């Protein structure tokens, strides 16, 4: 797809469901990018129920008030997509009464730990901004930034983890909400949200708009780190790491949706194989999470 067309499409998608998205940000202070998927309208006119599917960054900085708010929803299950090194000094704070499930997804898609990929030592306390400043000037990390979303949708190891997450949604008998997150709530969480929305029958434009909403959350961070990278001589490749790892690369996400269509025939086919959802599973999800 022509880059100018993609950029025009991004601007268009950013305007879609903007009022809905404003309502979806939940009132928490210490949890970044926390949004309720409730409120989106499906292609057949149904609406996703509020208070059941919440996407966010980690709970490491959640305040007591935040935890109490989530308890009152109530959140019944927390699914954490982070790897072990991301938990160093950044463990989730516990929502009272919620079950915790870890489904670590290696977002670069290979057998190597992400920190090894960018060539830095383990940190006593995981600092994503420090990691990205170092990674920006690392050739391997630059390639990871370019391949991030294509890897997560095409590699079997990632597919199996996302399939497990979707199976939790299908099989869960809890009446409360599922709160799912990674470190920043944008890439792994963004793809998980896209799969949920697609399974529920939300159109492609809204899926892209939901993914892109993250960029408003991290816009100041992207600007600040990009300025530092330029100061140290960074060019397009180095800035691409900041764009991918602090922001959400919507252009790359759109290309990845196109890749799914090309390689698997459609998103519907992808949800069924390799993500393992049957027609009956999709019907269960729609019964659980949609209302008229």
Instruction: Please tell me the distance from the alpha carbon of residue 240 to that of residue 33, in angstroms, as a whole number.
Output: 21
Give 197 or 222, the one with higher predicted confidence: 197
| Structure confidence at residue 40 (pLDDT) | 96
Instruction: Give the residue from 170, 175, 194, 189 showing the smallest Cα distance to 259.
Output: 194
| Structure confidence at residue 108 (pLDDT) | 67
CB 95 within 8 A of CB 72: no
The string of pLDDT tens digits covering residues 229-261 is 888 888 888 887 887 788 888 999 999 999 999
- Say if residue 142's pLDDT is above 80: no
β partners of residue 78: 100, 179
Domain boundaries, the chain: 3-110+122-291
Report residue 206's pLDDT band, with 50, 70 and 90 as the boundaries.
Answer: very high
Domain 3-110+122-291 falls in which CATH fold? 3.90.190
H/E run at residue 3: helix 3-15
Percentages helix, strand, coil for the chain (3-state, rounded to 5) are 55, 10, 35
CB 204 within 8 A of CB 108: no
């Amino acid at each position: 797809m022509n880059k100018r067309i993609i950029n025009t499409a991004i601007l268009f998608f950013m305007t879609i469901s903007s009022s809905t998205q404003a309502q979806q940000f939940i009132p928490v202070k210490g949890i970044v990018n926390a949004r309720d998927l409730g409120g989106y309208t499906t292609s057949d006119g149904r609406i996703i129920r509020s208070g059941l599917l919440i996407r966010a960054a980690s709970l490491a900085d959640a305040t007591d008030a935040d935890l109490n708010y989530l308890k009152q929803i109530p959140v019944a299950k927390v699914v954490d997509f982070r790897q072990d090194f991301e938990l160093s000094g950044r463990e989730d704070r516990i929502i009272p009464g919620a079950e915790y499930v870890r489904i670590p997804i290696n977002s670069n898609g290979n057998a190597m730990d992400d920190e090894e990929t960018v060539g830095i030592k383990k940190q006593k306390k995981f600092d994503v901004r420090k990691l990205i400043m170092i990674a920006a000037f690392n050739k391997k990390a630059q390639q990871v930034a370019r391949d991030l979303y294509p890897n997560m949708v095409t590699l079997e190891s990632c597919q199996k983890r996302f399939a497990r997450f979707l199976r939790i949604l299908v099989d869960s008998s809890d009446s409360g909400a599922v709160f799912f997150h990674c470190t920043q709530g944008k890439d792994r969480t963004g793809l998980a949200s896209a799969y949920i929305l697609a399974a529920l029958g939300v159109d492609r434009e809204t899926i892209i708009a939901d993914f892109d909403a993250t960029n408003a959350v991290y816009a100041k961070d992207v600007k600040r780190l990009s300025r530092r990278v330029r100061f140290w001589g960074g060019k397009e490749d180095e800035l691409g790491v900041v764009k991918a790892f602090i922001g959400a690369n919507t252009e790359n996400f759109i290309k990845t949706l196109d890749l799914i269509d090309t390689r698997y025939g459609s998103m519907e086919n992808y949800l069924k194989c390799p993500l393992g959802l049957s027609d009956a599973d999709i019907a269960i999800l729609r019964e659980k999470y949609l209302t008229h």
